[in-house]
């Protein structure tokens, strides 16, 4: 899948910043591709890039409007449809990560056909995958896992790709969710694959490679999330990680979207190894990434230090402190 | 989904009995619905029911031809298409568990439209599920889990439904695979659901019920199968079982379809509890079901006795020895 750049980010009229995490992620990691945002009245999200009308965006050379927001259930509200039709009429392509195909909405299908715009439904995979084989492949793989959903697994993986490359490693981010696909321009939304093929799709995503090459795989969900643990497990079995990083958000009081308590980092390490050794007997935790965005500087450093001591592992906030200690850990344990 | 009875079982020209396990399962559990089988030259499978031509089957009142075989990848070979068209032209409906929709083949779609026959693609779910919530529901649930695929999880669940009912319990088999759906006339193929919704689909399948009612849920795959463990886990989290039975085939030398060694029954018990307690903290193993069909009587009883002693659990072959000890265990631990 090739998505034409640059982008206009459509935010609709969502109720908070978290609903726009796709758009925010694209701006954070690929600001040079993001010409502006398009918001509807009442929108509570803001990417802090110029607000543009569809016509202004088209005049500035935008090639694709990204629907960079998710609402409950991944549905496309009726009142967003006319903005999408306008973008197509202005000559853009449109990409979404919603659960409904853009082309299933007659007005959108018609506008795309009339104007020749592409419709990218990132959450749908039209590929036929094989079932997973579980066979060891050459190359090294790093997976980010989480105590919950939305705790920084994608950010950590992107930061590790950057950090490993800066340190001279050969490393590639492997996107498994819609935002990651928009950021890297490739990959697949693993949770949109038919259940039988989760592990097989993860094997396709992280193919055999040079023995010293690192795939940095974006994790999904959590083994402790009752909605999505099946996806988490299938992805891990297919990715057969040599190393994993546990990602955690310390101010979360319960698992996102459900009533369950959060597991401890230690529980995540233990259950990840217990399950992950099936396809990689040498799987090991190389460190911890804590998202401290809701803490002040002192509290952030206190929790990083305390957690590092508690588990005897490198512990960073990829955004606040960077990932150098995790990259050093990779070098120490696996060499160059 | 309602599938009209009685059935004609189409076996194609598959290479062995295992490829016809869907058809064989239907004959074992619902012989009264199976009027005959239809085989192509070279077929090595046999359900030991009358061989009928399409015309003979139609004359005997068959309502639905079940494509009761699976080949690698779930593909429908071209040379099976004409038999399906013939069945439709003879006034039957057709049901399959293949990965390809019957209606995607023009000759089949055309014949169905012309004759008014239904096309049932059991492996496709056109339902929209919610994501799993992980919330405790009233009612009791029993799940069959396995050391591998194809070790007797469905048979054990069906035998437990029968055994529990005979003992006066209120119990319902919950089908999660194509054969189970053909046998029970309802349920869904859980491995055909979009990965994000595995647990949600399992919650839909095993809804809130009377506190003393047992759902007997057909397990899928194995937590130790590198191709399918994600499905196994999502199904377990959604089904939130109070009790589980480990199913095992003792002559298997490696996991089906891959090169992995089989886990021990003890490993399956431990990993099932480690993962399953997320949605049911009281999950417990109530016994073991061993498929001894490839052993003689003496060897079968020896392994059942040895395994019962090793784990301190009731151990049966549901076909050879029946499930009474497992039903007794349910009564002892959970009452009536």
Nearest to B234 among A195, A260, A279 (CB): A195
Give me the pLDDT at residue A51, please: 98
Predicted pLDDT at B128: 82
Give Cα separations from B14 to B80, B97, B98 (angstroms): 11, 15, 14
| Alpha carbon B90 to its chain's center | 29
Report the residue count for chain B: 336
**B16 vs B11, B19, B26, B29, CA distance in Å?**
10, 6, 17, 20
How many other C-beta atoms lie within 10 A of the C-beta of residue B59?
Answer: 11
Nearest to A260 by CA among A221, A299, A315: A221
Chain B residues closer than 8 Å to A230 by CB? 195, 198-199, 230-235, 237
Beta strands in chain B (DSSP E): 7-12, 34-39, 64-67, 93-96, 119-121, 140-146, 171-174, 214-217, 243-248, 284-290, 315-316
Q: 10-residue block means of pLDDT along chain B (336 residues)?
A: 90 92 91 96 96 98 93 77 96 90 95 95 83 97 97 96 97 93 86 93 97 98 97 98 98 94 97 98 98 97 98 97 98 96
CB-based contacts of A310, cutoff 8 Å, min separation 6: none
Q: What gap in Å lies between CA B172 and CA B170, rounded to an integer? A: 7
Span A131-157, average pLDDT: 96
A 10 A CB-CB count for B28 gives: 16
The 3 state secondary structure assigned to B163-201 is HHHHCCCCEEEECCCHHHHHHHCCCCCHHHCEHHHHHHH
Residues of B in contact with A192 (CB under 8 A): 194-196
Q: How far is A16 from chain B (nearest CA, A)?
A: 21
> Quick check: helix, strand or coil at residue A194?
strand
pLDDT digits (tens, 9 = 90+) for A84-99: 999 999 999 999 988 7
H-type helices in B60-211, by residue range?
A: 78-89, 106-115, 153-166, 178-184, 198-205
Nearest CA in chain A to B202: A227
Res B73: pLDDT: 62
Helix (H) or strand (E) holding A146: strand A140-146
What residues have CB less than 8 Å from B264, skipping those under 6 apart?
B147
Q: CA-CA distances (angstroms) from residue A74 to A70, A77, A126, B78?
A: 6, 9, 18, 37
Query: Which residues 6+ apart lie within 8 Å of A184 measured at CB?
Result: A173, A174, A175
Where is A119: in which H helix or E strand?
Answer: strand A119-121
pLDDT at residue A1 is higher than 80: no
- Residues A231, A275 contacting (CB under 8 angstroms): no
Q: How far apart are alpha carbons B270 and B278 in whole angstroms?
A: 14
Q: What is the mean pLDDT of chain A?
A: 94
Which chain B residues are Cβ-neighbours of A231 within 8 angstroms?
195-196, 198, 230, 234
Same CATH topology for B7-121 and B140-334: the answer is yes
Q: What is the pLDDT of residues A193-248, one digit of tens each?
A: 999 999 999 999 999 999 999 999 999 999 999 999 999 999 999 999 999 999 99
Q: Do B130 and A73 make contact, defined as CB atoms within 8 angstroms?
A: yes
Q: Locate A57 and state its tokens.
A: 């965006």
Mean pLDDT of A167-172: 97
Return the CATH number of A140-334, one of 3.40.50.10490, 3.40.50.300, 3.30.950.10, 3.10.290.10.
3.40.50.300
Rounded distance, CA A126 to CA B294, Å?
Answer: 41
Q: How far is CA B136 from CA B140, B142, B209, in A?
A: 10, 14, 11
Cβ-contact B81, B67 below 8 angstroms: no
Domain ranges of chain A: 7-121, 140-334
Q: What's the pLDDT tens digit per position in A258-279?
A: 999 999 999 999 999 999 999 9
- pLDDT confidence of residue B123: 83
User: In which band, very low, low, confident or very high, does the pLDDT at A304 lie, cut at 50, 70 and 90?
Assistant: very high
- With a pLDDT cut of 70, the percent of chain A lying above it is 99
Instruction: Note whether B233 contacts A235, CB cutoff 8 Å.
Output: no
pLDDT at A72 over 70: no
A266 near A246, Cβ under 8 Å? no
pTM value is 0.88
In this prediction, residue B1 carries a pLDDT of: 64
pLDDT of residue B125: 74
- Nearest Cβ partner for A224 among B191, B234, B278: B278
Contact B195 A237 (CB under 8 A): no
CATH of segment(s) B7-121: 3.40.50.720
Nearest residue of B to residue A124, measured between CA atoms: B194
Peptide bond into B70 cis (omega under 30): no
What was the pLDDT predicted at A99?
A: 75
Question: What letter would DSSP give residue B250?
Answer: T
A78, HSE (Cβ side, Cα atoms, 13 Å): 0
Query: How many Cα atoms occupy the beta-carbon half-sphere of B41 within 13 Å?
Result: 1
């Amino acid at each position: 899948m090739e998505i034409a750049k640059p982008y206009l980010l459509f935010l609709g009229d969502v109720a908070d910043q978290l609903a726009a995490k796709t758009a925010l992620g694209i701006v954070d990691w690929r600001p040079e591709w993001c010409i502006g945002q398009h918001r509807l009245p009442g929108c509570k999200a803001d990417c802090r890039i110029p607000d543009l009308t569809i016509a202004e965006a088209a005049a500035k050379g935008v090639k694709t409007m990204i629907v960079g927001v998710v609402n409950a259930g991944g549905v496309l509200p009726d009142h967003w449809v006319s903005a999408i039709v306008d973008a197509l009429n202005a000559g853009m392509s449109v990409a979404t990560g919603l659960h409904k195909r853009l082309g299933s909405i007659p007005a959108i299908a018609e506008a795309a056909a009339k104007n020749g715009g592409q419709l990218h439904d990132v959450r749908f995979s039209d590929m036929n995958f094989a079932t997973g084989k579980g066979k060891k492949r050459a190359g090294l793989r790093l997976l980010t896992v989480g105590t919950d959903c939305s705790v920084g697994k994608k950010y950590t993986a992107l930061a590790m790709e950057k950090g490993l490359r800066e340190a001279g490693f050969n490393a590639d981010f492997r996107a498994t969710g819609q935002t990651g696909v928009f950021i890297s321009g490739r990959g697949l939304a693993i949770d949109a694959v038919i259940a039988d093929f989760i592990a097989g799709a993860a094997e396709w995503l992280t193919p055999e490679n040079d023995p010293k090459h690192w795939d940095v795989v974006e994790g999904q969900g959590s083994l402790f999330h009752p909605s999505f643990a099946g996806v988490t497990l299938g992805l891990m079995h297919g990715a057969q990680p040599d190393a994993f990083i546990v990602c955690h958000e310390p101010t979360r009081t319960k698992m996102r979207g459900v009533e369950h308590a959060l597991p401890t980092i230690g529980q995540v390490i233990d259950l990840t190894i217990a399950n992950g050794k099936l396809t990689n007997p040498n799987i090991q935790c190389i460190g911890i990434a804590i998202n401290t965005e809701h803490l002040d500087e002192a509290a952030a450093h206190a929790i990083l230090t305390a957690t590092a001591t508690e588990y005897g592992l490198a512990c960073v906030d990829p955004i606040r402190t960077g990932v150098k200690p995790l990259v050093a850990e990779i070098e120490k344990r696996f060499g160059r």
